[in-house]
Structure 1
Amino acid sequence: MQRGSDRLSVHKDEEMKHELQGLIRSGHPTRVEEWHDPEPAADDDPDVTLGPVPARGTTGQAEAVRFEFARRLGRTAFPADREALLRALEERHAPDGLISLAEELPADRTFHTVQEVVTALGLHPRGRE
């Protein structure tokens, strides 16, 4: 049955299915020309899927903590004091390590950004001392 909105004919559609069948079944590229295939990641490439990449010569701890707080809190949690941040983290099922860091925040201060939270914890991002 032909659909009116098809951009390809039935024959072309079947031809494309046949071309992709080897890739789908094998799970790896089946082309003869290697230059078509993407290169695999190198062993020394930074792992960018887990968070920010630290600058050279730094541990990246401040950036990693800021990334985790920002990921869990978002923009809606601010401005907030320590208790409000703890409630927001618990509601969003944050890891225990992040909650214990938030418990170290001063209780008498209101935070407007994630950066203020990280700075209050005594962590300095790259370039700021």
Structure 2
Amino acid sequence: MQRGSNRLSAHRDDEMKHELQGLIRSGHPTRVEEWHDPEPAADDDPEVTTGPVPHPGATGEAEALRFEFARHLGRTTFPAERSAVLRVLHERHAPDRLIALAQELPAHETFRTVQEVVSALGLRPEA
């Protein structure tokens, strides 16, 4: 294995991998002390810091909604029906707006991705 001009030693590189292993596997911070975790975005933060930047001239509503659903649902939720999506949103304390949108999903349709959830709500990504 070639390391090239890496400024970290092989030992420190392995140590950093070990530190991040819990975060990567669980999908949420795993530290005991809260002060180690980054702060979440505030309500009055600009949209640029909390979501994708829309294309010039586009509203970006579908992209922003997909980002919000993905942030709260994660990868392990899918494939899922509406009831499973709602359960995960409630468990992860998603905003009421997302829960209300998820209640509009078709009842017995199985969704494989977040994009399918957003498309079922009638929003298509900008071209």
Pairwise TM-score range, normalised by the shorter structure: 0.5 to 0.7
Aligned-pair distance for 1:48?
2.6
Establish whether residue 95 from structure 1 lines up as the match of residue 95 from structure 2: yes
- Report the residue type matching 2:118 in the other structure: V
- Report the residue type matching 2:117 in the other structure: V
Match of 1:66?
66
Between the aligned residues of both structures, percent identity stands at: 71
Match runs of 1:79-118 below 5 Å: 79-118=79-118
CA distance in 1 between partners of 2:95 and 2:47 (Å):
21
Q: Which has the larger radius of gyration?
A: 1
Match of 2:10?
none
* Unaligned runs of at least 5 residues, structure 1: 1-45
Match of 1:12?
none
CA distance in 2 between partners of 1:86 and 1:54 (Å):
27
Q: How many residues align?
A: 82
* Unaligned runs of at least 5 residues, structure 2: 1-45
Report the aligned-residue RMSD. Answer: 1.2
Q: Runs (4+) of structure 1 moved beyond 3 Å?
A: none
Aligned-pair distance for 1:47?
5.1
Aligned-pair distance for 1:112?
0.3
